[in-house]
């Protein structure tokens, strides 16, 4: 009798477990569809984590524009660390704040930096997918891509200058020398001397300074891109790092540089 009871209990337990499984299956079948807002949020999280597959999964497969966006993750992975961190932070800090649904179409507005931008979404097979940003966003993205590419060029030059210094008694080439040739021996990249936005060469400010004569290599710059990128100018510092600074600040630094010294950014 005791044995039979045990068997019955086991049978009940098995039924319960099976029932639980069924519930799970039923639950999965009724999985909540992500709202357009959630889809955009997930896209930003994936972009911020440089997760290309994750970003792609939130986008309309046929959208070339969105493909460009998530494929840019490959470039971001090659960008200088300081640039990469800024971009991923932009995605991580993007705030989705408005959602308008009209049948199978939706517009989700989000804020990136100080800019409010809309994404258009469509419902395909019951799921919301990002079809693309508005033209306004595209223009900003193109601009951003050029700015990143410009900083990447400057970084190559910054590293080349450091290598030159190491082999030349800690000095950098004179601006009135054949500096491009001297630096390119280390950069090995003719394109790195030109801004991708306006195709103009970067301005070199070196004057044969020795590393030991610098006040602060992290604030004194050797190269400047004179083409504006979103109201800023890209510069390469004597320590090899690159950054964007407000146009006026860079111009003032160049104007106020003492003879034989590099311009210094406060
Ligand atoms: Zn540039």
233 Cα to the center of ligand 1, angstroms: 7
135 Cα to the center of ligand 1, angstroms: 22
- As a whole number, mean pLDDT of residues 95-122 equals 90
Query: Quick one: pLDDT at residue 114?
Result: 78
Task: Report pLDDT digits (tens) over 201-232.
Answer: 999 998 877 777 888 999 999 999 999 999 99
Task: Report pLDDT digits (tens) over 233-249.
Answer: 999 999 999 999 999 99
- As a whole number, mean pLDDT of residues 163-187 equals 91
Q: From 3.30.70.20, 3.10.450.50, 3.30.980.10, 3.40.50.300, which CATH number describes the 36-133 domain?
A: 3.10.450.50
Most confident of 12-26, 62-76, 229-243: 229-243
Neighbours of ion ligand 1 (CB under 5 A): 150, 195, 225, 227
251 Cα to the center of ligand 1, angstroms: 15
Please tell me whether the overall predicted TM-score, pTM, comes out greater than 0.85 for this model: no
203 Cα to the center of ligand 1, angstroms: 11
DSSP one-letter string for the chain = -HHHHHHHHHHHHHHHHHHHHHHHHHHHHTPPPPPHHHHHHHHHHHHHTT-HHHHHTTB-TT-HHHHHHHHHHHHHHHS-HHHHHHHHHHHHH-EEEEEEEETTEEEEEEEETTEEEEEEEEEETTEEEEEEE-HHHHHHHHHHHHHHHHHHHHHHHHHHHHHHHHHTTTB--BTTS-HHHHHHHHH--GGGGB-TTT-PBPEE--BS-BGGG-S-TTTBEEEE--S-BTTEEEEEETTS-EEEEEHHHHHHHHHTPPTTS--B--
pLDDT at 11 over 80: no
Query: Quick one: pLDDT at residue 17?
Result: 38
Query: Quick one: pLDDT at residue 1?
Result: 42
pLDDT at 10 over 60: no
């Amino acid at each position: 009798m005791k044995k039979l009871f045990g068997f019955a209990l086991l049978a009940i337990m098995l039924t319960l477990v099976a029932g639980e499984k069924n519930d799970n299956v039923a639950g999965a079948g009724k999985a909540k569809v992500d709202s357009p807002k959630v889809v955009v949020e997930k896209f930003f999280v994936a972009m911020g984590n440089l997760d290309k597959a994750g970003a792609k999964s939130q986008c309309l497969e046929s959208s070339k524009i969105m493909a460009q966006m998530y494929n840019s993750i490959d470039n971001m992975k090659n960008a200088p660390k300081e640039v990469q961190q800024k971009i991923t932070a932009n995605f991580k800090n993007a705030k989705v704040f408005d959602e308008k649904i009209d049948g199978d179409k939706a517009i989700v507005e989000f804020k990136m930096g100080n800019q409010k931008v809309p994404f258009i979404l469509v419902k395909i097979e019951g799921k919301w997918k990002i079809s693309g940003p508005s033209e306004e966003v595209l223009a900003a993205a193109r601009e951003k891509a050029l700015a990143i590419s410009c900083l990447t060029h400057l970084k190559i030059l910054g590293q080349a200058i450091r290598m030159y210094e190491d082999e030349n008694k800690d000095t950098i080439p004179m601006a009135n020398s054949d500096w491009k040739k001297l630096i390119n021996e280390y950069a090995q990249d003719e394109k790195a001397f030109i801004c991708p936005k306006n195709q103009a060469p970067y301005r070199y400010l070196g004057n044969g300074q020795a590393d030991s004569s610098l006040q602060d290599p992290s604030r004194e710059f050797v190269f400047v891109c004179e083409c504006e990128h979103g109201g800023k100018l890209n510069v390469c510092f004597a320590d090899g790092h690159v950054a964007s600074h407000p146009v006026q600040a860079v111009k003032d630094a160049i104007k106020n540089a003492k003879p034989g010294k590099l311009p210094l950014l406060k």
